């Protein structure tokens, strides 16, 4: 089945053999055995191309799910042996969360070399939450979201919003600026269809101080939005730690009249705890303590 998935992905026996670290004849032999076991041809082969048959196309989704369950069984067995060993699946959404992932990975590798963190990125918080609920992730970094049964969360940051402006903008040299003073500026914001909390929060912040932003361009993600700001298309609103990730042509100026914060959480499955996950949570607790927040945050 793994050989089948490799060939179905590459549509080339030679490249599939490289992925599987076996010879091309061995791949062909495994595919023939699988077709015999299934009872029908899964690939159409010619000297020029390899294509899935209708049977192969129908077989692929269930094949992928079967392999996922098999991998999950192996993971469960390894996780039951020793708390200092095992596999923890970690997901994240958002550019800032990638910094947290990097720090966590390095510290876990240093302290618990037997624990393997399998990292995956999602476009938005909803994707991380769905994979946690579906037992495809054990741990997730994401924006604060709705509570779900079986999933625990802990606040790890509450980043104040700031104005992101081009370096040649009059506000770029200020120590702080009122968002209301930027009401006539063109804005570049995250597209609503991207389903990122930051996009909604930027609009909400503008409404808080009495105006609806004039959006001249929408961006699919934070990095594209910053690139557009840096090139002078418009200004934007985002959490202040973003400057640590981006320095090309953009100034980040604290907002004097907005107290909204983008709250990020660590989320994990609490219904199937195991030793390796508890060890990783312990490390995460040391690296990302819950912040003390004096002002009201929204």
CATH of domain 2-79: 1.10.10.10
Cα dist. 282→35, 268, 278 in Å?
Answer: 47, 12, 6
CATH of domain 81-156+263-287: 3.40.190.10
Asked if 199 and 143 touch (Cβ cutoff 8 Å), the reply is no
What does the chain come to in residues? 298
Asked if 165 and 235 touch (Cβ cutoff 8 Å), the reply is yes
pLDDT value of position 136: 87
Closest CA relative to residue 128, chosen from 294, 295, 269: 269
pLDDT value of position 296: 42
pLDDT value of position 262: 85
Query: Mean pLDDT for each consecutive 10-residue tract of the chain (298 residues)?
Result: 94 91 93 94 88 94 90 76 80 76 92 91 82 90 83 90 94 96 95 76 94 94 88 91 63 92 88 83 93 56
Residue 252's φ and ψ, nearest 5 degrees, are: -115, 115
CATH of domain 158-261: 3.40.190.10
pLDDT value of position 247: 59
pLDDT value of position 245: 54
pLDDT value of position 123: 65
Domain ranges of the chain: 2-79, 81-156+263-287, 158-261
Asked if 134 and 271 touch (Cβ cutoff 8 Å), the reply is no
pLDDT value of position 51: 93
The reply to whether domains 81-156+263-287 and 158-261 share a CATH topology is: yes
């Amino acid at each position: 089945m793994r050989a089948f998935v490799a060939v179905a992905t590459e549509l080339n026996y030679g490249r599939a053999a490289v992925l599987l670290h076996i010879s091309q004849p061995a791949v062909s032999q495994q595919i023939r055995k699988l077709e015999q076991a299934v009872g029908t041809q899964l690939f159409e082969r010619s000297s020029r191309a390899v294509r899935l048959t209708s049977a192969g196309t129908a077989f692929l989704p269930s094949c992928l799910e079967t392999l996922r369950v098999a991998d999950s069984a192996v993971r469960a067995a390894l996780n039951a042996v020793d708390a200092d060993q095992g596999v923890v699946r970690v997901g994240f959404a958002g550019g800032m969360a990638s910094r947290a992932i990097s720090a966590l990975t390095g510290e876990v590798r240093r302290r618990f070399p037997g624990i393997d963190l399998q990292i995956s990125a999602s476009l938005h918080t909803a994707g991380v939450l769905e994979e946690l609920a579906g037992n495809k992730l054990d741990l997730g970094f994401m924006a604060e979201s709705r509570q779900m049964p079986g999933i625990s969360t802990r606040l790890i940051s509450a980043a104040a919003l700031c104005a992101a402006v081009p370096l040649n903008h009059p506000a770029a040299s200020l120590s702080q600026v009122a968002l209301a003073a930027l009401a006539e500026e063109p804005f570049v914001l995250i597209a609503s269809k991207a389903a990122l909390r930051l996009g909604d929060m930027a609009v909400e912040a503008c409404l808080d101080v009495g105006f609806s932003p004039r959006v001249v361009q929408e961006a699919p993600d934070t990095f594209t939005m910053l690139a557009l700001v840096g090139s002078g298309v418009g200004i934007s609103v985002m959490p202040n730690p973003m400057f640590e990730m981006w320095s090309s042509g953009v100034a980040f100026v604290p907002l004097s009249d907005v107290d909204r914060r983008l709250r990020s959480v660590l989320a994990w499955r609490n219904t199937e705890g195991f030793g390796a996950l508890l060890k990783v949570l312990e490390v995460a607790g040391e690296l990302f303590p819950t912040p003390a927040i004096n002002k009201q945050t929204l």
